[in-house]
Amino acid sequence: MSKDTDKQSLSNKMWGGRFSASPADIMEEINASIGFDKRLATQDIRGSKAHADMLAAAGIITKEDAKRIVAGLDQILGEVEAGVMKWSRALEDVHMNVESRLKDNIGAPAGRLHTARSRNDQVATDFKLWVRDRIDAMDMALGVLQLSLARKAEAHAATVMPGFTHLQPAQPVTFGHHLLAYVEMIGRDRGRFADARARLNECPLGAAALAGTSFPIDRHATAAALDFDRPTANSLDSVSDRDFALETLAAASIAAMHLSRFAEEIVIWMTPQFGFITLSDKFTTGSSIMPQKRNPDAAELSRAKVGRIAGAFQSLLMVMKGLPLAYSKDMQEDKEVTFDALDSFGLAVAAMSGMVEDLEPRADVMRAAAGRGYSTATDLADWLVRELKLPFRDAHHVTGRVVSLAEGRGVELEALSLADLKTIEPRFRADALDVLSVDNSVKSRTSHGGTAPQNVRKMARGWVRKLEKAAERV
């Protein structure tokens, strides 16, 4: 059989004789999706098994046919998992490949499987199942990262480092406090994924092509079999909705941005100019020409992933923005970008978790840096307000003159004497000198959410207990 005859035979097999000629080569090239949507094979087979069981329970097909269909699908699943399933581009997509293979396995009963459904509701169901599975995997991975951060935060609840605004020294904080900021961010990221999961958890199966079906199907049964909360309520929306993928990509974009910010800090902290942390050979690389180099490539690559992930969100948004109801083939463009984005996100999370476990802070360097840049100036202003009852704006002005004095002498605030302070404000007392210490500065920040080590230790322990308990339930 020639190639064209073979293609025409497959075309007739797929379209029931409506087309008498085979598609042009370029049509096959642009139309086929099997190269990427075969990743949905597990979800496709799961949905088909639930559909077959429902058809039998509703008396639409015989129980014997359903049993043979399910057994045949299980055989195909085994081939997929073993990596021996043969995929045909001429059959376009994962759905037709599975159905064709099923016919090879069990013969005529395979033709009954597609009763009361369309590839439109089938692919929507498969894709929802896949995205839901990935959300669960991403949530677990983010939980691992949170736990790593919380444990390191507890270990370094009192390790002093500079806090920055505008990347300029601002006030002393602790390394544990800094890490807990990312624990909080990731907690919100996980919340966004959970919200997306809750909204997507409605089953499109049974919506058919766009209008529903005249067969007496039980959509609640298939929804329950696939662990959805309920069937979707509108058949047009069911097959044309991709906002579940968009929302997941949006959540991934925000989460990847948080990872990128932390990755950027790791890159900065690794520089000799900062020297705040070390990373081992596990997460760094060398240079082909400069033997002294230790490059934080894992952090740099994690930082870069947000571009691909946010780009995928924009790509799918542009695909969907002009589509009339219901299904259009444009929507075939939904999967490649989503697959790539969520794969990239999972890789970045795993890399960041590894780096958190691996990195070691250089406490002496951090503490020395925390004292530079007049970072305890606000503590001195607060002392003036608290002890001398100055309005804060007046205290701010007095402290500014003290900083100017230190700057003029080329020293830090701690190097000034009480006599020096009194030249600016005669009412300064000896206890004012105590607040200029970075250790006393961080200890004083006892307000809820502040950087005081006792706060950080308590918060970190709470997160560790919560996250360990959640991990035990998985």
Active site residues: 166, 287
Residue type, 269: W
Q: Which of 198, 193, 196, 203 is nearest to 244 (CA)?
A: 196
CB 230 within 8 A of CB 279: no
Residue 112: is it exposed, middle or buried by C-beta count within 10 angstroms (0-12/13-18/19+)? middle
Q: Which residues contact 202 (CB under 8 A, 6 or more apart)?
A: 223, 228, 229, 230, 231, 232, 233
Are 8 and 90 contacting, i.e. CB atoms less than 8 angstroms apart?
no
289 CB burial (10 A radius; 0-12, 13-18, 19+): exposed
Phi/psi of residue 285, nearest 5 degrees: -130, 170
DSSP state for residue 285 in the 8-state scheme:
B
What are the Cα distances from residue 206, in Å, to 127, 132, 150, 413?
Answer: 15, 19, 45, 73
- Neighbouring C-beta atoms of residue 445, cutoff 10 Å: 20
**b/e string for 379-414 if b means 16 or more Cβ within 10 A?**
bbbbbbeeeeebeeeebbebbeebbebbeeeeebbe
CA distances from 204 to 109, 156, 239, 240, 342 (A): 24, 49, 7, 10, 22
Round to whole Å and give the CA distance between 312 and 247: 12
Rounded distance, CA 298 to CA 352, Å?
Answer: 8
